[in-house]
Structure formats: structure tokens, C-alpha cells
Amino acid sequence: MQGIQRQKRLKIIAIICILLLLLFKFVLPLLITTNYTIAKVDSMDRLKFVINFNDIRLKKKREFVYQDKFVKAPNHIIENDFLKRKINGSSVEKVELLKQLYKKGYSAERALQFVLPQILDKVKTIQEELYISPINSSAKFLPNSSHLFDIKPHKTGRQLDKDLLVRNIYSALLNSRFVCDAQTQEISPNITTEYYRKATFFRAGFSTSIATSSENRKHNIALSLSKLNGTVVRPNQIFSFNKTVGPRTEKQGYKEGKIIINGRFVDGIGGGVCQVSTTLYNAALRADMCILSVKNHSLPVGYVEPSLDAMVNLGTTDLKFENNTTHPIYIRAFVANNSAVVEFYGLPMIYKIVPESEIVDSIPPTDPDEIVVDNEYKYIPVGTPSGQTMQVSYSKGGLSSKSYLCYYDSIGNLVQRRQIRNDKYKAQRGLIAVAP
């Protein structure tokens, strides 16, 4: 019995001895090392580095000071890594290690990341503090102003030349110096003042005479031009005349004027609007817009050549084109010197574009004159004897026509001529009014 108890005591003593051996072999050295490291760190000369920044242009002078700080390792594995990299070493130890890394071909950033990762954090902080954001130029379209565009100048930004600073820090430390200079570099804005000066260039314009129009017709033309004036068409945007100008009704301020219905000129609300759409169409052609939808009148019109007109009717017929440039197109529309005028502004054009009209064939009138009894005395003066007639209008022949766009280079050479339309215009019947 006593022998068994003795064996148990011996086993317990053996286990205690093994535990003590493990304690002395693994735990105690770690404690001694850690305590030694902490004591050593607390007494050593920590690295201090000064970065000077002096921007004479901005009248800005700054001094940034980096002070090495002790970094506590969370475990003994990282502690050993810190010892290898001299993370908590003295300034002399760090400089010596940097020199060794330089001989091994380490880049500035890689070497500093290995030995002084905290100084790269300081560089990032300096980068944020010195950053000045660039400001883009902007342009405001003022179609009723004499200078048309209010262009706000751009402002350049500044940013730290990070790569240069990292190299300067590395170079200074390799030469046992603890100060260097920082520099900034200019940041150009995405949109400069010069860009907007070019992007608000006069591309093309067109005008048609309204000198012989009635006052009502002139009113309608001026009103619809005012709806177009100031329009900005974005890149790849599709412009619609009907959508932009809107309904042509008395409620919208339009008056009665000559329009074409069923192959005859008659009075109707909004007469004259088609002259505006035609003027716009010819300006758009010259400004090199991509025409998507256009239709001729049923009869030839007097203010533009055949196959260069653009009839519009809300709900059925529209003039559409696409801005196929990389910058907005600005449209100015107004009345001047008894003319309807439309102008396009945007990026400069490579070619000068000139539309041409060609009459292909004449279509003689075939129908006899229309005879109407003028019960409302629209044509015949009141008091005219019954049965007396008056020729209100004579018959006119129709025609078929084509139109082309001619492209000329900067010295006037014809580069291209392409057909864009092929139209037919009806012959017009004459009109005879009979007194009731």
C-alpha cells in the first residue's frame, strides 16, 4: 500500500519537474526578452524627421514634423518581426538598416514601408492637407446678351508630389540627415477656359426674309423664334421642333396667317411657323447636325429654294435632328432687319457646308381653275354686281427637285457633295371668285 502511494508521489513530482522545465525553456525567455525590449525602447533615441514645404506662388509655408512612436506588438511572432525590421529601433539602427536595404536594391517606398511604415502615413496626411481641388471652367448661355456667353475661368489645383517626397526622405536618411523638402505639382481641371472659348464657336446660321409678310405672320414668326431662342442641345440629344415650340394655338398667343392646306394657301392659326422651322433646318444643315426627320411642303414656298424647306404640323409632321458632336449645341433665334435668323454655336467645324438646290423637272398644271361664289366677300369688294368674276390667283406648275450638301475645306476646295433629298411639289389650281 505504501509502495503505491510512493509511486503516485513520484509521478506528481515528475510532472511538476516537466512543467518547470517548460516554463524555464519557453515562457521565461519571452518575458525576459519583452521586458528587455521595452526597457531598451524607452531609453533609446527615437527618430525625428522634419519635412519643409514652401510654396512661394501660393505664399504658403509649412513645417511637418514626424516623430517615431513605439508600436506594441500583439504577440511574440510580430514582436520578432518588429525586431528584424527595427520598427521600435533607434534612429541609428533604422538608418543603418535602410542603408542595407538600399544596397539590396530596395525602392524608396519599399524600404520605408519595411523600416518606417509610420512615416508613410505621415506622407499621406501631408498629401491630404496640401491638396487643392481644381475647378472646371463653366459657360452660361445668354442668347439675348451682346457677348452671348458668360465663361467662368478655370482654376488649377495643387497636390503633393508624393513620389518625390518619398525619394527625398529616403535620400536624406541614407545620408543621416533628418530633414527634407516637399513640393507640390499642378493639377489641371478637366474643362479649361480655353475649351469653352472653342466650344462656344459660331458654327453656322441662316436667315429668311419676312419683309413682305403680314403683321400677324410676323408676330407668329417672332413668337416661335422666341421659343427656340436659348435652346441647348446636349451631345447625342435629339431635338424636336414640335416639342420645343409647342402648340400653335390662340391660347399660346398665335394669330391667323397664311398656311397650306390641301394644296392651297389659306388663312389659319399659326401661319408663318413653317418659315421658322425652315430657317432652323437650313441653319442645322450648315452646322452639320444629323437630320433625322424633315418633310417638304405640298407647294413650293417663296422664302427658300425647293428641297430645302421644312414643313411642320403638330401631331403629324416634325423637324428632328441629333447633336452628333461631343459638346452642347447652343441655338440663338431672333428677328432682325425684317429677317428670321437662327444661329448655331458649339465646337469649331472642320468643313464649311453649303446646301444646294436643283430643280429636276417641271410639272405643268392640269386641273382647271377653281370657281367659288364669294358669299363672304373674302375676295370681291362688297357691292360688286352679281355674277361678276375676279381672278384671285393663277394656276402654277409644280416641280420635282433635289438638294445636296457641299463640303469645303479651309482653303475653299470642294471635298464632298452628297444628295440629301428628293421631293415633289404639286401644281396649283387657279382661283376665280364670283360675286353672289
Answer whether residue 376 is part of any domain: yes
Same domain, 130 and 161: yes
Q: Where is the domain boundary, 334, 349, 364?
A: 349
Structural domain containing residue 330: 200-349
Residue 40 has a pLDDT of 34
Answer whether residue 154 is part of any domain: yes
Answer whether residue 378 is part of any domain: yes
Would you list the DSSP string of 364-383? ---SPPEEEE-TT-SSSPTT
Least Cα distance to 293 among 426, 103, 420 occurs for 420
What are 393's strand-pairing partners? 431
Same domain, 135 and 208: no
The domain that holds 429 is classified in CATH as: 2.20.230
Residue 17 has a pLDDT of 61
Same domain, 340 and 389: no
Q: In this structure, what C-alpha cell is assigned to residue 209?
A: 426674309
Residue 266 has a pLDDT of 64
Same domain, 300 and 320: yes
Residue 246 has a pLDDT of 93
Same domain, 59 and 162: yes
Q: Which residues contact 53 (CB under 8 A, 6 or more apart)?
A: 60, 61, 62, 63, 64, 126, 130, 181, 182, 183, 184
Number of folded domains that form the chain: 3
Q: Where is the domain boundary, 290, 314, 349?
A: 349
Same domain, 277 and 320: yes
Q: Where is the domain boundary, 163, 187, 211?
A: 187
Structural element, H or E, at residue 224: helix 215-228
Q: Which residues contact 44 (CB under 8 A, 6 or more apart)?
A: 89, 90
Same domain, 57 and 166: yes
Asked whether the whole model's pTM tops 0.85, one would answer no
Answer whether residue 16 is part of any domain: no
Which residues of the chain, if any, have pLDDT below 50? Answer: 27-44
Same domain, 87 and 139: yes
| Residue 300 · residue 258 · CB < 8 Å | no
CA distances from 415 to 203, 285, 308, 411 (A): 18, 16, 21, 11
Whose cell is 366677300? That residue is 377
| Residue 165 · residue 126 · CB < 8 Å | yes
Residue 370 has a pLDDT of 84
Q: Which residues contact 40 (CB under 8 A, 6 or more apart)?
A: none
Answer whether residue 273 is part of any domain: yes
Same domain, 166 and 204: no
- Give per-residue pLDDT as tens, 105-149: 999 999 999 999 999 999 999 999 999 999 999 999 999 998 999
